[in-house]
Amino acid sequence: MPKTLLVGIDGGATKVSGWTTEVKEDKTFMLGNINVVKEYREYDEFMPSFKPVNIQLQLGEMNEGEIDLTVEERLHGKAYMYAAADLIIELVKTVGADRVLVGIGMPGLKSENKRGIIALANGPRMPEYCEIIEKRVEASGITMDKPIHHLGSDADYCGIGEEYSQNGLFQGVTNSYYLGGGTGVADAMKLNGKLLPFDQAKTWIAKAWEMKNSEGKSMERFASSNGIQTIYSEFANLPVIKLNKEGIYPPQIIALYDEDSAAKRTFNDVSYNIAKLLFERIVTIYSGWNHPFDFVNSNRADLDNKHPYLGTLLDSIIIGQRLGDLLESSKEKNIFYEPFLEFLSKFINDSPYLDVKFKKHYMKDEMFNEDIIKTSKLREAPAIGAGVDAYLTYHKD
């Protein structure tokens, strides 16, 4: 039998990262030890000056079913697709496999067959994304074991990674919420023992990026690396481009906390808003939407305050990706972790409508029960999830 390599790919705005993925006998999964990263700027087709088509125009064409790609989109998009294909080729040749099975997570709204990207706020539309990747891979002499069935979302793949990975924190729990912060923000849920994609629950719970606080700032800003860096940029009156040149990202900002007032203001802001977001999550799941936030899209339909999971108390709240690393590194320093817990405790203690059952579950000695907060070690959860999804799609047993 030819050797088939399972590959999980996490695609982003500037690069794609792919990992070999291994299936264990107990049907759990783990990353292999081979990782390849391809940056789009490595390709001649990449256009540094590329500007995305106006998102409203993109959505209009999507709704009409007629995607009219610009010349620039066609060229720039090739850098994205060639990078993903070349990543697969390099992994397969490194391992010495004969065939490859691929799962890919990518941002953007997907085509009807889920194999293309037909709306993307910060990049080119690529309706033939999977098709072009497959053609380039097979042109190199590598056989696709199965077609790329569909493109998944970063958030869903974080949840799948936590559920099926050997080290996943969704394992062994019945009810849990996951908040991951990297380039963007990812939400995932496991309720009544099953993964529940946010798209299947959108009538009663909103994604983090869809909500904004009382100052009109998207909640994504407080969970993502780019967002935290932007907050510091504004408080310190330093352009983000300067921070990038000097290598000042959230870990460096948190290290400046004691000596830099802008760093202190940044993480006080982050602690408060992450606490507010998690408070909304546990309350919405337990007793329904109570309008703590407005929506970024003012035309978004309001949420129902009734849903099938009312009365559910979470076994755990998982903080993952770079946000999880930041939270973990700040423990016992009274910087991010402790203020966040204090804010979350205050929100619960001050709430007039939460019942004794809720408070008894989440509180311990007047403080939020720390045992419920878990930080994930699965930095590459989306890549694992992509590989797992590809495998389970074609192996229903």
pLDDT tens by residue, 202-237: 999 999 999 999 999 999 999 999 899 999 999 999
In this prediction, residue 167 carries a pLDDT of 86
Instruction: For residues 346 and 277, give the distance between their C-alpha atoms in angstroms, rounded to a whole number.
Output: 13
CA 382 and chain centroid, separation = 7
In this prediction, residue 1 carries a pLDDT of 41
User: In whole angstroms, how far apart are CA 200 and each of 204, 206, 308?
Assistant: 10, 11, 12
In this prediction, residue 122 carries a pLDDT of 83
Q: What is the chain's percent helix, strand, coil content, to nearest 5?
A: 40, 20, 40
Instruction: For residues 203 and 205, give the distance between their C-alpha atoms in angstroms, rounded to a whole number.
Output: 6
In the chain, the domains with their CATH numbers are 4-155+382-394 (3.30.420.40), 172-377 (3.30.420.40)
Beta strands in 12-98 (DSSP E): 15-23, 29-39
Instruction: For residues 108 and 355, give the distance between their C-alpha atoms in angstroms, rounded to a whole number.
Output: 40
CA 68 and chain centroid, separation = 29
Contact predicate 384/313, CB 8 Å:
no
* Residue 18 φ/ψ, nearest 5 degrees: -125, 145
Residues counted in the chain? 397
Q: How many CB atoms lie within 10 A of CB 41?
A: 12
The three-class DSSP label of residue 247 is coil
- Angle at CA 93, nearest 5°, toward 92 and 95? 65
* 110: its two tokens: 């997907």
* 145: its two tokens: 């074991």
pLDDT above 50: residue 153: yes
> Average model confidence (pLDDT) for the chain?
94
Instruction: For residues 219 and 181, give the distance between their C-alpha atoms in angstroms, rounded to a whole number.
Output: 11
Q: What's at 151, amino acid-wise?
A: L
In this prediction, residue 2 carries a pLDDT of 52
Per-residue pLDDT band for 55 (boundaries 50, 70, 90) equals confident
Contact predicate 205/308, CB 8 Å:
no
Question: Among 385, 369, 213, 184, which residue's Cα sits nearest to residue 282?
Answer: 369
Instruction: For residues 29 and 167, give the distance between their C-alpha atoms in angstroms, rounded to a whole number.
Output: 9
Question: Among 308, 302, 305, 303, which residue's Cα sits nearest to residue 288?
Answer: 305
Q: What number is the average pLDDT over the span 386-397?
A: 89
